[in-house]
Amino acid sequence: MNNDILATLSITDATRKLATKEISSLDLVRACRANIERRNATLNAYLEVFDDVEAQAIAADTRRAMGEKQKLLGIPLAVKDNILIEGRRASSASKILEDYIAPYDATAIKKLKDAGAVFLGRTNMDEFAMGGSTENSAYGPTKNPHDESRVPGGSSGGSAAALASGMALGALGSDTGGSVREPASFCGVVGLKPTYGAISRSGLMAMGSSLDQIGPLTRTVADAKLLFEAMRGQDPLDSTSLDPSFYKEGLQRKKIGVPRHLLARGVDADVLKLFEETLKRLQEKGYALVDIELPSAGLALAIYYILMPAEASTNLARFDGVRYGLSRRGESLFDDYACTRGEGFGPEVRRRIMLGTYVLSAGYYDAYYGKATQARRTLSRECAAALKEVDVIMTPTTPSPAFLIGEKSDPLSMYLTDIFTVTANLTGNPALAVPMGEVKRTKINLPASIQLTAAHGGEATLFSIGREIEAV
Amino acid sequence: MYYDAMVSKEEVRALAQLARLRVSDSEIEGLQKDISNILEYVGQVGSIVPNKGETQVLRAQNVMREDILYGPATGLINKGKELLTAFPKREGDYAVVRKIIHKDE
């Protein structure tokens, strides 16, 4: 089997071929490496490819020969640079953690190791997962494999680009406001933001702790299910992680809710057209479309850009140059901190830390953080009520296809890309991004994506309807 | 209730101070514009009319556990050496920090 076919197999297909000994893990790893050698210098998807990947693959093949049959045995995956793998560098694409070596495995990584996965390397991202384009990396931007003048989305842009260019069979990202789903949309792959608490956050570098979730990026919905099931579970190291009994049975009502009031403006006409066509095809398959109202959803982005910086500024206070990372000496103790953090953090991270500091400061707390907390509860209640009537809520994943590198230089215009994705993080609901076709920009086809949001623990519903979308 | 969201240059400097960030003079103006624009946008949350009984307090509940070692579940057991290696400045098994208590002369 040639490398191009091997490197673009779904995990599900690769697992079957590995089981029948038609291919080996080493074949898969070599196929991915061939693409890495060909394109990574340009795309900048990986920050580092581990030098022991072939040894990992050979070990997996040996284990299979000995009769081991773990679900992901020998499957090569890419991992976002903010998820800890013991003994490997993990920098969150920041200068402040340039030389940081992870002292332990994230729980999600430990579970994937138990399932037999091979780790190819760590992927580029927006620094500390702050951004929607992977332009905020301290190690240079990642480019979109479909069109190298465009961004791959972010913040898990390296993972999405690696997968879309055949440099991995699957990838891990983290999603605080859309950071798995938006790059999945821009690169034409599947991305899942699980229910808050589904996958342990232990070993994921914290940005917004009440919003963060690790999520898989994959070629198919079946693959997303496979990785999700390998990683989920209650963990004593994350007190917000959920017991497996939380998960609900699959779909019941065949009803899709569409919040049309959110689509009235700001959505690219071609994306909207694909969205309507996808809905129509689902209708032909027997799904009923229901107009739903989420009156507070228009405020979701405003709520998010108060709560996320507030939590991030608190979480990033740990970078003081004492226990790990960059350490600079100034004139005074205050200067030690200010120099270390001023030099170690990039512009977007500093902007969000200052914004978080502002909304949490004594005089403004009630007007911003307090109001946002209240609005978050109202929004959660509205979503919960809607999801009592319908199986999923559908919108496009992003209002437009991938934009040009450098196009959104104003931070607020970049934030608006998250308009459809932040709600699921605020409410804790699971959401899945599935490719829904392509739109043409300057003669190049760019992927577009549809987002499905289900009730808490409703991942089974997302997978079942997601498969129907893939099939149409 | 809306606030005038335009922040002054002095406020930007004060924020940087509070956040323990050194910011160069050339960045102040850009930050002033960006932070003001973002605050104006997020200020929309002021328009929300609270539902009856919906307070500003988060509904999150504290999670209690036994005060015992997790054993092998925690990855940090026996990782002393790795944690020490991460110290930027180190003497033996100690992190070196600036002396902050001085004797009065």
The per-residue pLDDT for B5 is 58
B69 touches chain A (CB under 8 A): no
- Could you tell me if A8 and A152 lie in one domain? yes
Exposure string for B56-75, b = 16+ CB within 10 A, e = fewer: eeeeeeeeeeeeeeeeeeeb
Give the closest of A239, A341, A373 to B20, CB-based.
Answer: A341
Instruction: Flag whether B100 is in a domain.
Output: no
**Could you report the per-residue pLDDT of B48-91, keeping only the tens digit for each?**
776 666 655 555 677 888 887 776 656 677 888 999 999 999 99
- Could you tell me if A107 and A34 lie in one domain? yes
The answer to whether the CB of B40 falls within 8 A of the CB of B46 is no
Angle at A235 between CA A184 and CA A312, to 5 degrees: 55
- Could you tell me if A469 and A443 lie in one domain? no
Question: What is the predicted ipTM?
Answer: 0.93
- Could you tell me if A193 and A171 lie in one domain? yes
A-interface mutation test, from B18, B38, B49, B57, most A Cβ less than 10 A away: B38
- What residues of chain A, 140 to 159, have a C-beta less than 8 Å from chain B? none
The CATH number given to whatever domain includes residue A49 is: 3.90.1300.10
Distance CA A235, CA A414 (A): 35
Per-residue pLDDT of chain A (472 residues; tens, 9 = 90+): 788 999 999 999 999 999 999 999 999 999 999 999 999 999 999 999 999 999 999 999 999 999 999 999 999 999 999 999 999 999 999 999 999 999 999 999 999 999 999 999 999 999 999 999 999 999 999 999 999 999 999 999 999 999 999 999 999 999 999 999 999 999 999 999 999 999 999 999 999 999 999 999 999 999 999 999 999 999 988 999 998 888 877 667 899 999 999 999 899 999 999 999 999 999 999 999 999 999 999 999 999 999 999 999 999 999 999 999 999 999 999 999 999 999 999 999 999 999 999 999 999 999 999 999 999 999 999 999 999 999 999 999 999 999 999 999 899 999 999 999 999 999 999 999 999 999 999 899 999 999 999 999 999 999 999 999 998 6
Instruction: Flag whether B33 is in a domain.
Output: yes
CA atoms within a 13 Å half-sphere pointing along the CA-CB vector of A200 = 23
A177 to A3, A121, A431: CA distances (angstroms): 35, 24, 11
Instruction: Identify the domain containing residue A73 by its residue range.
Output: 1-251+295-381+458-472
A305 contact residues in B (CB cutoff 8 A)? 38, 41-42
- Could you tell me if A71 and A91 lie in one domain? yes
- What residues of chain A, 349 to 368, have a C-beta less than 8 Å from chain B? 350-351, 353-359, 361, 364, 366-368
The per-residue pLDDT for B69 is 76
Rg (CA), chain B: 23
- Could you tell me if A147 and A113 lie in one domain? yes
Three state DSSP letters for A315-330: HHHHCCCCCCCCCCCC
- Could you tell me if A234 and A262 lie in one domain? no
Give the closest of B27, B45, B59 to A371, CB-based.
Answer: B45
- Could you tell me if A141 and A194 lie in one domain? yes
The per-residue pLDDT for B68 is 79
Q: How many domains does chain B have?
A: 1
- Could you tell me if A103 and A6 lie in one domain? yes
Angle at A433 between CA A428 and CA A439, to 5 degrees: 145
Instruction: Identify the domain containing residue B43 by its residue range.
Output: 9-47
The answer to whether the CB of B21 falls within 8 A of the CB of A345 is yes
Instruction: Flag whether B38 is in a domain.
Output: yes
- Could you tell me if A146 and A71 lie in one domain? yes
Which structure tokens are listed for B23? 């910011």
**E strands, A18-139, in order:** 46-49, 76-80, 118-123
- Could you tell me if A288 and A310 lie in one domain? no
- Could you tell me if A152 and A259 lie in one domain? no
Instruction: Flag whether B39 is in a domain.
Output: yes
Q: How many domains does chain A have?
A: 2
pLDDT at residue B1 tops 80: no
Question: Could you confirm whether A155 is annotated as catalytic?
Answer: yes
A229 touches chain B (CB under 8 A): no
**Could you report the per-residue pLDDT of A14-47, keeping only the tens digit for each?**
999 999 999 999 999 999 999 999 999 999 999 9
Instruction: Flag whether B61 is in a domain.
Output: no
Instruction: Flag whether B25 is in a domain.
Output: yes
Give the closest of B16, B41, B50 to A412, CB-based.
Answer: B41
Question: Could you confirm whether A202 is annotated as catalytic?
Answer: no
Instruction: Flag whether B92 is in a domain.
Output: no
Q: Would you give the DSSP letter of residue A111?
A: H
Question: Could you confirm whether A80 is annotated as catalytic?
Answer: yes
Instruction: Flag whether B29 is in a domain.
Output: yes
The CATH number given to whatever domain includes residue B41 is: 1.10.20
